[in-house]
Amino acid sequence: MPGTPHEVLIVALREQPGLLGALVSTLTGVKLPRSLKPSDATLRFVKPAELRLDLVYRGGQRRWVLVELQRGVDPAKRRRWPLAASLLHDQTGVAGDVLVITARRAVARWAERVACVRTRLGTVLQLKPVVLHLGAAESKALLDERHPELALFAAWAMQHRHGPRARAVVERAFELTERLPPALRRAQQRAILSVLSERMLALLREASMNPDKIPETPAARKLRLFLEAQGRKKGRAEGEAKGRAEGEARGRAEGEARGRAEGRQEALMTLLRARGLSPSRDDEARIRACTDPAKLDRWIARAATATSVREALGTRATGARARPRAPGRPRPASASRS
C-alpha cells in the first residue's frame, strides 16, 4: 500500500498543477503544455473493470500525461502501464506520455524496461516511459531559488537517506520554502516533514537540540525553529489529550465510587425498613452523607440484628438526666460541707 510520502506528493501534484511542468522542465528541458490539469485518475473500460492510477493530466488538443510515483518494484505495472496508455490513446486518438517519478536508482532502471513483452514467435509489446530519477544531482537542481516549490521534490528524494548530505538537502529545502507565500509555505513545510523517514526526523531533532555543537547555517536555523514550534505544538496537544484522559478517568472513578456508595445506602435503608426500624430525617441524612464503603458495610451488618436505628448506626444515646432529689432526703456529707 502507498505510504505517506507517496500520498503527500500526489496531493501536492494534484493541488498545484504547475508543479509537474516545473519539475519536467527543470530535469529534462522539455516544457509541458500549460493547459494540462489533473483529471479523474480512474480509467474505465466498457466491461466492468477499472484501472486506478496515481495521476492523469489532460489538456488542450486531447493531450494527456499519466504520472506514477514509484517507490519500489511492482511486476503488475508490466501489464497496467501499457494498458493505461493504450486506453488513453484509444480514447483521445493522441499519444501521450507515461511519466514515472522515483527516488531509487534500481527502481528507475526497472521502470525503463519492465513494460516490454516478447512472445516466442517474435511479437513485441513495449512501452518505454519517461523516468525521472530524483538522485543527488537531480535533487541539487531542484533546490532552485527561482522555483522554491520544487524543494518538496528534493526533500521527497531524501526519504530513504539519512547522511549529512541528505540532511543538508532537507535544510536547504526548508530555507527555500521560506520564499513561498505564507499559505503555501506552511503547507510545504508540513509536507516536507511528512515525507521524511523517522530516522531522518530524529536526526534533525537531535541536531536542533544541540545547535552549538554544529555550525548553524541559516537553513538549519529555520528548520530548528520550525521543529521547535512543531514540538511545542505537539507537546501542548499531548498535554491536553493527557489532561482530558486523566480527567475522564477521574470522573469515571468518582462516578463509580459514588454509584457504589449510593447502592450501599439504598441497601441499608431497605434493610432498616424491612426490619421495621424507621430512620428519622437526621438518620437518613447521615446515611446519605456517608460515602465510605467500609462504614456503610459495617452499618448494613449491624442493621441485620440491631433493635434500633441508633444501634445499627452506632449512635450513642444521649446521657440520662440526673434524677431529682426526693424531699426530706439528707444531702451527702460532702455536699453539706461544700
DSSP per-residue string spanning 54-70? SEEEE-GGG-EEEEEE-
Instruction: Provide mean pLDDT across the span 137-142.
Output: 92
Q: Is there a domain that residue 139 lies in?
A: no
75-89 pLDDT tens trace = 999 999 999 999 999
pLDDT at residue number 231:
64
Query: Which range of residues forms the domain containing residue 264?
Result: 235-313
Give residues with Cβ within 8 angstroms of 243, minimum separation 6: none
Residue 250 lies in a domain: yes
What is the predicted pLDDT for the residue at 273?
82
Parallel, antiparallel, or unpaired for β 130-133 and 124-126? unpaired
Please count the structural domains in the chain.
1
DSSP state of 211: G
Determine the pLDDT at residue 320.
39
pLDDT digit string (tens) for 265-295?
887 888 888 788 888 888 888 888 998 888 8
Tell whether 290 is covered by a domain: yes
What predicted TM-score, i.e. pTM, was given to this entire model? 0.61
Residue 271 forms part of a structural domain: yes
Closest among 266, 268, 274 to 300, alpha carbons compared? 268
Which pLDDT belongs to residue 92? 92
- 154 lies in a domain? no
Measured in degrees and rounded to the nearest 5, phi and psi for residue 65 equal -140, 125
Q: Is residue 181 part of a domain?
A: no
160 against 315, higher pLDDT: 160
The arithmetic mean of pLDDT across residues 10-25, rounded, is 89
Q: Per the domain annotation, does 246 fall within a domain?
A: yes
* Residue 49 belongs to a domain: no
Residue 321 has pLDDT above 80, yes or no: no
Euclidean distance between CA atoms 33 and 37, whole angstroms: 10
